Amino acid sequence: MLEHAPGDGAGHPKLAPLLADSGETTAAIESFQLAARGQIEQGFDDRAIGVYVQAVGYFPEQFGLWEAIAELHLKAGRGADALRAFLDAREELRTPADRPVAMLCLSRALELEAGSSLDKKSPRLAHTLDLAALCGKEGQRERADQLLEDLANVEPGALRQVRWAQFKLSPTPRHLWRWLFPRSDDE
């Protein structure tokens, strides 16, 4: 089908899962994208989201698929659903090989959460701490440190979580002291 009518979107919703099941990753992803594009061209953005959701079921490590879901939600004015797409991606991406994509998804989620509160039970705080931990595991210490330092002006209960994350990233006497006696003005 791809050889005879590669742009024909009608058959791709059925073909893409077959290609994915047979291990033809590149062709399957291309087919999912053509199927979604066909739905978008017909004005069915929610159906396109459904196609992409099916695609990430097969290929959760493909950031572009998650991003397409989020972009379609944003286009429809559903910011919370776009955020949920990136957070769902993070939940799927738990292996060390998945860290770079998980970091991209968390970064995009934090962009969508910009301006939300940063208290002890804040999802934004938890997502920032998660991203900092992933950065540390990926050898991006400076980025992790910066993310955590940017949280230094949170409420005292949340600051304790930040200081603990700093200590785990770099277990020095200074970070231990800052965790034991957290203050936003400590240096």
The 10s digit of each residue's pLDDT in 61-84 is 999 999 999 999 999 999 999 999
pLDDT, tens only, 98-108: 999 999 999 99
- Name the CA radius of gyration of the chain, rounded: 20
Range from 2-6, 89-93, 108-112, 124-128 carrying the lowest mean pLDDT: 2-6
In this prediction the pTM is 0.84
Chain Cα centroid distance, residue 152: 23
- Of the chain, the end-to-end C-alpha distance in Å amounts to 64
pLDDT number for residue 31: 93
d(CA 52, CA 33): 8
Top-confidence residue, 139 or 182:
139
- Give the closest residue to 104 by CA, choosing from 83, 126, 131, 124: 131
Find out whether 39 and 9 touch, Cβ atoms under 8 Å.
yes
Query: Is residue 151 within 8 Å of 140, Cβ to Cβ?
Result: no
The pLDDT value recorded for residue 7 is: 53
Mean pLDDT, residues 170-184? 85
Confidence category of residue 118, pLDDT binned at 50, 70, 90: confident
